[in-house]
Amino acid sequence: MKFSSFIAAVFICMGLACSNPVSEPNTLTEKEKAEGWQLLFDGKTTNGWHMFSKPEMKHSWKAENGELTTASSDTTGTHGDIVTDAVYANYELVFEWKVAREGNSGVFINVQDDTSYMATWATGPEYQLLDNQNAKPGYLDGGKTGAGALYGLTPIKNKVEPKAAGEWNQSKIIQVNGKISFWLNGAMTAEEQIGSEQWNKMVAESKLAVFPDFGKATKGHIGLQDWAKGVSFRNIKIKTL
């Protein structure tokens, strides 16, 4: 290649790089905005989220270093699950998460935010977040409670491991008319239809059967679990389908 051609190629590549910048955490590209994506976390505040069934209560979740996070050692607020102010039915939700060593958390969908329910998990199915590598022996329950699982109902569909504790994972949840699919680091981990014969059978045979309204709604709040050791989220984005 001639030197002049080489220089031209370099400038072309630089131009392309400038026109396709890497998105900063907790921001939307112009393309994402055009496609209808919305941020559920602005990277700076906990706006848009509140304590489950207690919207006025000060909770322990914080926005720190561009992360929506909580830790068991934090005593500045009440510990508990938080949920979105808004409700959602048909959508694609993407988010990044990491847990501390031995961390255990979850993302709930279709949560009914009502004081008549004791917790988020009394109504909303859970996308499990877990430090698989350091889970207690037997805890994974054949894959039903590992990272990416539809918690307590069915083993993950495709073998995939979460990143080590403290490293970011990429997850996705899609729901359309009650058909849900979970994804972890590019692999589908669950796919079920809420209300189907198979769904009802799974719920009835699980420990979640003690909650009469569990897994019946196909619309509700999205919840984040404050459970053990600490968890952080970023790049929480949703698009209505």
Class of the domain covering 25-240: mainly beta
59: Cα separation from own chain's centroid? 19
DSSP string, 40-94: S--SS--TTEEETT-TTS-BS-EEETTEEEE-TT--SSB---EEESS-BSSEEEE
> Which pLDDT score is estimated for 22?
56
Cβ count near 3 (within 10 Å): 7
Asked if 152 and 186 touch (Cβ cutoff 8 Å), the reply is: no
> Which pLDDT score is estimated for 72?
81
CA distance 203 to 200: 5
The dihedral built from the CA positions of residue 47, 51, 54 and 59, taken in this order, carries a sign that is: negative
CA distance 93 to 239: 7
Beta bridge partners of 192: 180
DSSP assignment, residue 229?
S
Q: Give the mean pLDDT per block of 10 residues along the chain (241 residues).
A: 47 44 85 98 98 95 97 87 98 98 96 96 98 93 95 96 97 98 98 98 97 98 94 98 97
Domain boundaries along the sequence of the chain: 25-240
CA distance 232 to 41: 12
> Which pLDDT score is estimated for 221?
98
DSSP string, 150-204: BTTTB--SS---PPPTTS-EEEEEEEETTEEEEEETTEEEEEEETTSHHHHHHHH
Closest CA to 112 of 164, 41, 71, 52: 52
> Which pLDDT score is estimated for 213?
98
> Which pLDDT score is estimated for 107?
98
Q: State both tokens at 79.
A: 């510990």
